[in-house]
Structures are given as C-alpha cells and as structure tokens.
Amino acid sequence: MKPKMRTIFRSCLNFPTEAIFVSDREIFSPAERGVGVPTASEVGEKSADSEAKSARVGNFKQLLTLTFAILMTNALPGVSQNRDNTPFPWVTLNNGVEMPMIGFGTNTLGGERATNAVAEAIDVGFRLIDTATTYGNEAAVGEGIRQGIERSGIDREDLFITTKLWADDMGYEKAMAAFETSLEKLGLDYIDLWLIHRPRPHEDIPGSWRAMEELYAAGKIRAIGVSNFTPEQLDELLAYAKVKPAVDQIETHVFFQQFAAQRDLETKGIQMEAWSPLVAGNNLQGQQSKIFTNSVLVDIAKKHGKSTAQIALRWIIQRGIITIPRTTVRAEMQENLDIFDFELDADDMRRIATLDLDKTQFPHWN
C-alpha cells in the first residue's frame, strides 16, 4: 500500500493499516471468495495450478481491496481520538453525532442484575449502553444509568444510550407510543440512538420510520437507525426515508464475519455495529464455534499477552465496527475495554479470516 494511503488510514482510524487491509483474505469472506472455509492444511497445500490461478486473480482482488479501502476512508470520516478521557475512540455518525466504538450490551440481564451491571459498567468507563424494549429491562437499565452517573460523577450527556423498537410495536401510532414508554422506563428525556430491532415481513416499517423521523426532528432522539437489516432491506428503506439510518446493528463475530454487509454499509454511509461480538459466550454450534477456547484465538492471545475475548473484540474494532460486549463481571468489563494498547497484525487477521463460518450462530433468533 502506498505511504500516502497508509497515512490517511492511520489518521482516520488511529489503527495500523496493514492489519485492516492486508490482503484479499481479510476483505473477502470464504463465500465471497467462492470457496469453502479453508482449513489450515488446505491453505498450506495449494497446488501449483491453484497458485497460478491465485496470481491471476490477485491483481483484480488488490484493485477491489484498494477500492474498498477508499470507500472505507470516505465512509469513516470521523473515527477520532479518544474523547473526554475515555479509553476508546468515538466515531462520527452520518448526522454528525459522535458514538463510542465500544459499549455495554444488556440482553438477558434483568432486574437488579441489570441495574448493578450497568452501574458497574459506567463506573468502569463504558459510555455506550445498549438495551431494547424486548429485553424487558429498560427500567432496570435506567436505574443502572442513574446509579452509574452518581457513582462516576459524569453527566447524562457523557453517555450514549441506545434502545430499540420491537416488532410488535411497528407502525406510526404504535411506534410513537412505544417511544414514550421506553423513555419513561429508562427515566430519560431523550435517547441517543433508537433502532428498529428486527424487520419482520408484513410489519409497517415505513410508518415506524416516519415516527422515528418525527421524533428525531423534534430532538427527542439524537440518531435513528436499524438492526438486522440486510442490504436489500436497507435499499427498500432508503427509497422512502427522509433521514438516512445512522447505524445498522447486525450479528458480527469471528464465526460470522460479515465483510459483504460491511462493504454495503460503507458504500451507503451507514455505521456498522456488531451484536454478540463474543457469540453470547455460547457454544451454540458445538466445538467449532467455541470462542474462548478456539485454538487460533488462544494462539493469537498468547502472542499479544491478551485474552481470547480481547482478541475477538479488538478484531471487530480494528475493522472500524462498533461493538457492545455484555458481562456481569467487573474484571471482564475492564478487560473488554483494555483493547487499545495492542494491534493485530496481518498474520493475525489472516488466521482469524479462516474462522468464518459465514452464517448466523443464532438461527433460532431469525
């Protein structure tokens, strides 16, 4: 890569360019490359024929990579230095609002557990809190926000609160009412980011979006966006939206790498946010997707003196994607924020690319 381009990337992301755009293997998922998930031996056992073929497509892929890199540069104009002494970068969304690159997820947390975890997370240093109506914990999260503000001596304005409109509340009237309920439960007078949680077929997405646009125009929401929207669903929305979504929050982790979705979002100027960055800590699809003991991640973790969770999170952030890990353990909260003093290199990124299973690890949620 040319030095000039490298400099642009460094200043844009404050991360090493080589680790993001090292080769086609980081940019293209196995499906996009037209091959199955390569095993280590497959990677090492390329025939002379396939090497020659690779060389032929190499130039074309490099061109694509460069094009994508330029798009990334244009679409991520605002990943900035850390703000207000926070230990993480903030990204400027397409409407000028700044959002932390890492936040705290609250799915499955309820009652006191949610309150304590959110208060603790704010105390540890998290500023972005992610909840949703369907988690049934907005009141408990709201209480955690109040306690967190008190404990850490920050202001409400220092926080970035996301909640989501559930599928049952779609349509203009219902969305308007759902927003007031969310606001009341959270005990807030505005929301930083409100997302359509899930685009179910036959639900009134245009009516919901109109409600969101009105609330946004009225200053009750600082940014509006979507979650779990495919490129096609975004195209439909963009055909009538007066306000472009600022964010699309989608499942993204080492086992579902979502490079095609990322390219689409970058082209559209919509910030990507990764949910379940640690695959919910589960072992849903058996040994293959056991994240914390995965041998590739364990190896890379040893090399950097970090944990596997930190490698998995750093890999997302290093791609310019926001993420929101959840934990109730203070030490793990601290660990999840402690990912800005090291860099994954080209070899790390290449090895992590081989972990892509290129499909959801939560089929029961779709």
Ligand X SMILES: NC(=O)c1ccc[n+]([C@@H]2O[C@H](COP(=O)([O-])OP(=O)(O)OC[C@H]3O[C@@H](n4cnc5c(N)ncnc54)[C@H](OP(=O)(O)O)[C@@H]3O)[C@@H](O)[C@H]2O)c1
Read out DSSP for 156-204?
GGG-EEEEEE-GGG-SHHHHHHHHHHHHHHHT-S-EEEEEE----TTS-
Q: 162: which strand partners? A: 130, 193
Amino acid identity of residue 102, one-letter, is I
Least distance to ligand X from the beta carbon of 345, Å? 22
Least distance to ligand X from the beta carbon of 229, Å? 10
SS3 letters for 104-146? EECCCCCHHHHHHHHHHHHHHCCCEEECCHHHCCHHHHHHHHH
- 17 or 327, CB closer to ligand X? 327
d(CA 181, CA 340): 37
d(CA 115, CA 113): 6
| Residues written for the chain | 366
Catalytically annotated residue among 135, 172, 190, 216: 135
Least distance to ligand X from the beta carbon of 351, Å? 20
Q: Which parts of this chain interact with ligand X (CB under 6 A)?
A: 105-107, 130, 197, 227-228, 249, 275-281, 292, 307, 309, 324-329, 332, 335-336
- 70 or 329, CB closer to ligand X? 329
H or E stretch at 251: strand 247-251
Note if 216 is an active site residue: no
- 72 or 321, CB closer to ligand X? 321
Q: Does residue 337 contact residue 125 with C-beta atoms inside 8 Å?
A: yes
Least distance to ligand X from the beta carbon of 343, Å? 19
d(CA 200, CA 9): 37
Three-state secondary-structure class, residue 96? coil
- 46 or 302, CB closer to ligand X? 302
- 190 or 292, CB closer to ligand X? 292
- 24 or 251, CB closer to ligand X? 251
Q: Let me know the angle formed at the C-alpha of 235 by 233 and 236, rounded to the nearest 5 degrees.
A: 65
**In this structure, which long-range contacts are made by residues 156-161, counting pairs with CB atoms below 8 Å and at least 24 apart in sequence?**
156/188, 158/84, 158/127, 159/122, 159/127, 159/128, 159/129, 159/192, 160/99, 160/100, 160/103, 160/127, 160/128, 160/129, 160/192, 160/193, 161/128, 161/129, 161/131, 161/186, 161/188, 161/191, 161/192, 161/193
Structure tokens at 224: 């509006």
Nearest residue to ligand X by CB is 105
Least distance to ligand X from the beta carbon of 143, Å? 17
Least distance to ligand X from the beta carbon of 208, Å? 15
Least distance to ligand X from the beta carbon of 251, Å? 7
- 73 or 134, CB closer to ligand X? 134
Give the residue numbers annotated as catalytic, written as ranges: 135
